[in-house]
Amino acid sequence: MNEQIFAVLPEQEGKRIDAFVCEQLDGITRSMVQNWIEQGHVTLASGKAVKKNYKVSAGDEVIVQVPEPQSVEIEPENIPIDIVYEDEDIIVVNKARGMVVHPAVGNWNGTLVNALMYHCGDRLSGINGEIRPGIVHRIDKDTSGLLVVAKNDLAHQSLAEQIACHSAAREYQAIVVGAPREDQGTIDQPIGRHKIDRKKMAILPDGRHAVTHYQVLKRFRGYSLLAFQLETGRTHQIRVHMASIGHPIIGDPLYGLKKDRFSNLDGQCLHAWRLSLDHPRTGERMVFEAPLPEYFTAILNKMVQENG
């Protein structure tokens, strides 16, 4: 058992204990926490036993004994994927919106890794372990676009170094609410895990260094199309940075507007459209592009029509 202790802050008072614990731990569902409570793995430091509907009070210390993870068998699945380029060292994929990159709690099947294992067999790098074979970098489930996968450890190490030193360039496009005043700019704000809602990231003084460059490509009535280039690759980086300056990405369920004409989209309107890197074996500079997906262009066309 891995024991962790969480103190309840004043602003968290009144939450159900299953919801509170769920917010503290990544990749955990409320049903999992409820099972832990029934098994006696969630208690208060005072020694008081709790039920799943117990409401926490400020100052409570909640002790969670997280069971050791069980070994998981990741199965290859015959899932169609859009392969932009492939050779003996790398494979570049245009990931569809709605696809999770690698298996995790709640998503053991139907991921890009499951599809890659079917397509590549055992020809994927093993540096990131059995759950994330070949995965060098990720993009969010509801973000579409390009990512490169390593077929061997040599390629993985080279690609990881390129990403770390910023020689590999990742460029995105998104539609945001409103428009920045300047046509281009840089957001340099540290990002870390949200102190209360553990499913979210936030701008935090003690967060990790994060830099996003943006350029306004087109302005519409109430919205704009932006291009982004990343210096760093923090979780939800573009989404958090744009929300922090008052221009969240449309359709973003975590950081977007709750009431907006595009709030019913199936995820944020964000696409990784260009990827540049040096081939890990030959050193050749390679540039890959993926056109904007159909749902994205449909929204743009509608905005163009509305703006005359």
Rounded to whole angstroms, the Cα distance separating 296 from 308 reads 19
Per-residue pLDDT, 72: 59
User: Tens digit of pLDDT for each residue in 44-88?
Assistant: 988 777 888 899 999 999 999 887 655 557 889 999 999 999 999
The type of residue at 254 is L
Residue with tokens 């210390």: 61
Q: pLDDT at position 243, please? A: 97
Q: pLDDT tens for residues 92-139?
A: 999 999 999 988 767 788 999 999 999 998 889 887 777 788 999 999
What domains are defined for the chain? 2-66 (3.10.290.10), 71-165 (3.30.2350.10), 166-280+289-308 (3.30.2350.10)
Residues 18, 140, 142, 252: which is the catalytic one? Answer: 140
**Whether the Cβ atoms of residue 217 and residue 225 lie closer than 8 Å to each other:** yes
Tens digits of residue pLDDT in 180-204: 999 999 999 999 988 888 789 999 9
- Comparing 126 with 269, which gets the higher pLDDT? 269
Asked if 300 and 175 touch (Cβ cutoff 8 Å), the reply is yes
Distance CA 108, CA 3 (A): 25
**Mean pLDDT value across residues 157-186:** 94
Check the CA dihedral 201-204-210-216 and report its sign.
positive
Question: Residue 34: what pLDDT?
Answer: 86
Using one digit for the tens of pLDDT, what is the confidence trace for 95-107? 999 999 988 767 7
Q: Is the pLDDT of residue 1 over 80?
A: no
**Confidence (pTM):** 0.78
In Å, how far are 15, 133, 208, 267 from 191, measured between CA atoms? 25, 26, 5, 21
pLDDT, the chain, mean: 91
Maximum C-alpha span of the chain: 67
What's the CA angle centered on 26, arms 229 and 296, to 5 degrees?
40
In the 3-class helix/strand/coil scheme, how is the chain assigned residue by residue? CEEEEEECCHHHCCCEHHHHHHHHCCCCCHHHHHHHHHCCCEEECCCCCCCCCCECCCCCEEEEEECCCCCCCCCCCCCCCEEEEECCCEEEEEECCCCCCCCECCECCCCHHHHHHHHHCCCCCCCCCCCCCCECCCCCCCCEEEEEEECCHHHHHHHHHHHHCCCCEEEEEEEEECCCCCCEEEEECCEEECCCCCCCEEECCCCECCEEEEEEEEECCCEEEEEEEECCCCCCHHHHHHHHCCCCECCCCCCCCCCCCCCCCCCCCEEEEEEEEECCCCCCEEEEECCCCHHHHHHHHHHHHHCC
* pLDDT the model gives residue 27: 64
Report the pLDDT averaged over residues 259-263: 84
With beta carbons less than 8 A apart as the criterion, state whether 148 and 159 touch.
Answer: yes
pLDDT in tens, 2-34: 788 899 999 899 999 988 888 888 767 777 788
Q: Which CA distances in Å does 113 have to 134, 137, 291?
A: 8, 12, 23
Please tell me the least confidently modeled range out of 38-47, 173-182, 208-217, 270-279: 38-47
pLDDT tens for 217-256 read 999 999 999 999 999 989 999 999 999 999 999 999 999 9
Annotated active-site residue 153? The verdict is no
- What pLDDT does residue 39 have? 86
Using the predicted structure, report yes or no on whether residue 258 has a pLDDT greater than 90. Answer: no
The C-alpha angle with vertex 118 and arms to 152 and 100, in degrees rounded to 5, equals 85
User: What pairs with residue 285 in β-bridges?
Assistant: 278
Model pLDDT, residue 287? 98
Both tokens of 74, joined, read 């990741």
What is the pLDDT confidence band of residue 263, given thresholds at 50, 70 and 90?
confident
